[in-house]
Structure 1
Amino acid sequence: MVDYSVTVHTGYLAGGSTINKINIKLVGTDGESDHEWLKPWKGALTFLRGQSSHFNVSCPTSLGKLLLIELDKQNLLKVTEDAWFASKVEVKSPEGDTYNFPIYRWISDNEVHQFREGTGLWKLVIFYTFQSSLTTLLFFVFPSWHVYAEGIPHCIKTEDPLSLPREVRFSFTKKTEFDFTASILHHKVLNTTTINLANFPEYTQEHWKEDAFFGYQYLNGVNPIMIQRCKVLPGNFPVTEDKIFLHGHCKLTDEMQKGNIYLSSGGEALVTILKRSLSEITYTSLCMPDDIAERGVEDVPNYYYRDDGLKLWDAVYKFVEGILGHYYKSDAEVQQDTELQKWTSDIFEHGFLLTTVPEMVKFVTMAIFTGSGQHSAVNTGQYDYGGWMPNTPVSLQLPPPTTKGTTSEATMLQTLPDVNTTAQGMAVMWLLSKQSSDFVPLGQYPEEHFSEEVPCKMIQNFQGELEVLSAAIKVRNKGLEVPYKYMDPKEVENSVTI
């Protein structure tokens, strides 16, 4: 008989403990163990959140190199069923080798779940490494896509937030903070006797009427991807040359040819916006370097979204290129990876096709950048610019004026939203802009999916590059009247959590 030393780690998440029966099976190149109960020798503390518990699994002979483990959770003594958040399992073989099995998933049913060893061994077993959580979500968590409305992006098929997999719901911490602060803030805003103007973004309050600040927001506000260089006016453009007053004797057509005129799309009904956006979206529009060039804004001054974003894109791209290049040595290996191709087919049906290493690197970079830096750029500043309601009203009670010179203070007050709507809008924007106490910055990975030396070193190098970029942004911001911090890696969430 040979013994395998098994250490099971329960994640430190609220509600992650279990008193149910946990079973395990080890699977290797030369055989597999019995389906064995991990006896709770510490009683109810064995699988308590944050706990690590040790067990021995005996086998008649060596199993060879371990490839995967099987875990299942069974109701013990018919007590109440509970969910268990397992973070990882470590196994030390009789030969002295240590195998790491990253899990980081909720197990809430009685089914058998397979988890692969963390080393990228795609020739021995279906490759499982970089962004493994993404693969998990696509194949194990989301059963199908749903068409909410024709012409807009597909979404996850689910009945309500509680029917979503626990891995993608709000964390307990974030949900508690969200619900509590929403009610408190809404009450304070409605109770006008307690409002201090310092609660509003002071700079926006002081400068919201200025043309320069209005224009600045199209570069570095919450819609920095809408502005583009204009050389020909759209056919239905409501503003004609006689309505525009340029300094000196400049003509609108001349200035357009010089590249000095820019346009930004206006507002429409939400579904109409989504339909139009999807019809116009291209792969290059999701990749920041291509998008900047396509919109013709490479040389626009004071465009900090572009400056910081391109540096962040480059850092992510270099990291992704290193990680994927470590595992995939040729385009043929990309095409022969059956699990990757299943993922690719899903992307192709609902997006794009990948067949080469460079294509995969660019796509994964886009996915990471969109879920981190890009999301921060269009989300985190909502309260900074919308907290002072007249600058960004959440709704209007009357249509905007169509005739120039007919607006007065009275008509503006009649058009702007009422106090209750304003309070709700401010509360939502403040909550969406606020960091949760369980915030994880870009490049930090509490979940240990990698155990090999090379990728771990690449992660350290990536973190070092982000530190340098963050420091440079902070130095630059000291000299700005309106600091731009939304692409600072220290302020960017590792992934979308809203």
Structure 2
Amino acid sequence: MANYTIEVFMGDALNAGNANTVFINLIGTKDSSEPQILGHSAEMLCCSKTLTVSCKESLRPFFLVQLELKALELEDHWFCSKVIVTDPEGRQRLFPCYQWLSPKKKTILREATAKLSHKDTEEMAVGHRLEDVAKKCEDFIWSVYDSEIPHIVQVDSASGLPYEVRFSFTKEKEFQHSQLNTSLDLKLNNFHPTNTWNSMEELEDVQWNTPWTHEYIKKHWMTDTFFGYQFLNGSNPMMIKRCSKLPNNFPVTNDMVKSALPKESSLEKEMEKGNIFLCDYARLDGIVGNVIDGIQQYLAAPLCLLFSNPQGKLLPIAIQLKQKPEAQNPIFLPTDSKHDWLLAKLFVRNAEFNEHELNFHLLRTHLLAEVFTMATLRALPSVHPLFKLLFPHIRYTLQINIMARKQLTSAEGIFSTSCAIGLKGMITLMRRATASLTYSSLCLPDNIKERGLENIPHYYYRDDGLKLWNIIHKFVNGVVAHYYTDRHVQEDSELQTWLTEIVEHGFLKNDNSGIPKSFHTVAELVKFVTMLIFTVSAQHAAVNNGQYPFGYYPEELFVEAVPLQKMEQFRQDLKALEGEIEARNKNLELPYDYLNPKNVANSVDL
């Protein structure tokens, strides 16, 4: 007889226990143990339970752990974090679980060692690998929200998601707590959705949980200096690019802007020096505004020219509100009346809101994160090293996106009922943005170079972002290179399927996107995975700001020494960057903290 000691861990998930009976057994290639009653899951809350099972002969070299819930009265769910099995020779093996178990299905766990498919030689291991992917393809099905926008998961509400990708109890409570506080604050301030305000002072009466920057913004929001600063270090540092030649539809002359330039200089000279920059909102051109409460809304598709002066300040020097130059579409200048110039800047900020929220936030982080999540769940078995590496970075993404579609982008959502662009305009803008989506624009070093922003001063998004990119790249390279050679990359059919899903459902097979159609080298794979992790963590923080600490890997998904060592080095590198950013921020009038690692989330979860 061969005796195996099994220790089952609940973890610290609240509400993880229930009244169901838990059965466990070991399944080997030649023999299996009889199912053993582990006990009622409610008895094991926040602890572990140990038992011994016997087999007629050793289960070496490969075996699985099977967990099964059998409902007594109510069909409740139970959370298991991990199982540790000690074999007759005293060797311990970790079987990660970290999911909610349902009475409706059996859960099969594999030992934690990450393996590529060519390393799996046991027939049972190969079978489990295939079954794992097949089951997830049944659970996670693609759906088309719009044929010209990245595809989404086929689920109407969060309750339709498998339990393993839903919010944890603590995350759910965090959302409920935030919503309750917001609701109470609004009620205490006598807020009603139909309220209107006649001044900024009246609006302040209903503001709640104002950030520490509130007083600074209130004081400086009308200034040209703060207007320019936001293009570099505000919530959307992605629109600005260097202007070496004026667009044909933006006929700014030297006489128009000479008062904003140094003496003896000219617009042409400053463009040659690399000091002139442009924000072009052409994607908004022709979109008809929404009708809200019977009132027609209007959208601009402006062009905004900016000058980086010798003092390192970025200042607006010309604004045109529509794309076609004509008599009814003048170019506004800082020398115009105070209110004309301010109104022109407000139209730019309104256009900026639409590009920021719908293109750079929703499309380029949330929707791409959903594509990355779906592809990872559908194409990679849980034993694949890339699945283990990416899982912390796809946590909760599906649920937050389902909630966003209901609350923000549905026919009853905020963009339809309360935003000038409206639902139809939103779809049009997102179609145009998807068509312009490129691989290089998602890779920060390439993006900075393409936009000509290598040398513009005080661009802290660039400075902090590139350092984060390099830290992520170093970490990813260390893990990926441990498992792959170039030949293994080329021969990994699971990996190539994963990429194909991303290309087809995220980039819609757009040949102009520059997205790779296959991987041939470790370097190509490392860059792509770096882009993915950067997009769902750092980039999302830059345009939204997150909640969960970057580099936090609570699940024990890896057991090998190399990836564990790389994770620890990753955390140390992030901590060092955190100190560097905080030291710099002490000397800034308006600190840039969005990409401080302590403020960067692991995944798109908010």
TM-score in same-fold range (> 0.5): yes
How do 1:182-193 residues align onto structure 2 when only pairs under 5 Å count?
182-190=182-190
**Cα contact 1:10–1:87 (8 A) shared by 2:** yes
**Cα contact 1:126–1:338 (8 A) shared by 2:** no
Cα 1:310/1:52, change in 2 over 3 Å: same
Cα 1:73/1:277, change in 2 over 3 Å: same
- Residue of structure 1 in register with 2:510 after alignment: none
- Residue of structure 2 in register with 1:365 after alignment: 530
| One-letter amino acid of the structure 1 residue matched with residue 159 of structure 2 | L
- Residues in 1 aligned to 2:161 and 2:500: alpha-carbon distance in whole angstroms: 23
**Cα contact 2:550–2:601 (8 A) shared by 1:** yes
- Residue of structure 2 in register with 1:120 after alignment: 114
* SS state at 1:58 partner: strand
- Residue of structure 2 in register with 1:336 after alignment: 491
- Residue of structure 2 in register with 1:347 after alignment: 502
- Residues in 2 aligned to 1:36 and 1:161: alpha-carbon distance in whole angstroms: 33
| One-letter amino acid of the structure 2 residue matched with residue 476 of structure 1 | R
* SS state at 1:185 partner: helix
**Cα contact 1:231–1:261 (8 A) shared by 2:** yes
- Residues in 2 aligned to 1:482 and 1:209: alpha-carbon distance in whole angstroms: 16
| One-letter amino acid of the structure 1 residue matched with residue 435 of structure 2 | S
**Cα contact 1:67–1:125 (8 A) shared by 2:** no
Matched, 1:69 2:65: yes
Structure-2-length-normalised TM-score: 0.65
Matched, 1:150 2:315: no
What is the root-mean-square deviation of aligned Cα atoms in Å?
2.9
- Residue of structure 1 in register with 2:36 after alignment: 37
Deviations along 1:115-155, whole A, 9 cap, x unmatched?
22111233443999xxx9xx989945852222212322222
- Residue of structure 2 in register with 1:18 after alignment: 18
Matched, 1:470 2:464: no
Cα 1:212/1:343, change in 2 over 3 Å: same
* SS state at 2:549 partner: coil
Matched, 1:258 2:423: no
**Cα contact 1:226–1:264 (8 A) shared by 2:** yes
Structure 1 residues without counterparts, runs of 5 or longer: 381-432
| One-letter amino acid of the structure 1 residue matched with residue 595 of structure 2 | M
- Residues in 2 aligned to 1:252 and 1:374: alpha-carbon distance in whole angstroms: 33
- Residue of structure 2 in register with 1:310 after alignment: 466
Deviations along 1:460-492, whole A, 9 cap, x unmatched?
111111111111111000000011111111121
- Residues in 1 aligned to 2:253 and 2:147: alpha-carbon distance in whole angstroms: 35
- Residue of structure 2 in register with 1:106 after alignment: 100
**Cα contact 1:354–1:360 (8 A) shared by 2:** no
**Cα contact 2:541–2:595 (8 A) shared by 1:** yes
- Choose 480-489 or 225-234, whichever is displaced more: 225-234
Deviations along 1:294-348, whole A, 9 cap, x unmatched?
11101110000000111111111100100111111x1221233343333233123
- Residues in 1 aligned to 2:142 and 2:209: alpha-carbon distance in whole angstroms: 45
Shift of 1:3: 1.1
Shift of 1:254: 4.1
- Residue of structure 2 in register with 1:210 after alignment: 223
* SS state at 1:493 partner: coil
- Residue of structure 2 in register with 1:180 after alignment: 180
- Residue of structure 1 in register with 2:362 after alignment: none
- Residue of structure 1 in register with 2:427 after alignment: 271
- Residue of structure 2 in register with 1:88 after alignment: 82
Deviations along 1:144-172, whole A, 9 cap, x unmatched?
22221232222222112332333444432
| One-letter amino acid of the structure 2 residue matched with residue 252 of structure 1 | L
- Residue of structure 1 in register with 2:377 after alignment: none
- Residues in 1 aligned to 2:235 and 2:138: alpha-carbon distance in whole angstroms: 31
Cα 1:142/1:265, change in 2 over 3 Å: farther
Which of 309, 323, 336 pairs up with 2:479? 323
Percent of aligned pairs with the same amino acid: 41
Shift of 1:175: 2.5
Matched, 1:447 2:462: no
Shift of 1:221: 0.6
| One-letter amino acid of the structure 2 residue matched with residue 113 of structure 1 | T
* SS state at 2:38 partner: coil
* SS state at 1:264 partner: strand
**Cα contact 1:6–1:89 (8 A) shared by 2:** yes
* SS state at 1:46 partner: helix
Cα 1:197/1:363, change in 2 over 3 Å: closer
Structure-1-length-normalised TM-score: 0.79
Equivalenced residue count is 429
Cα 1:339/1:239, change in 2 over 3 Å: same
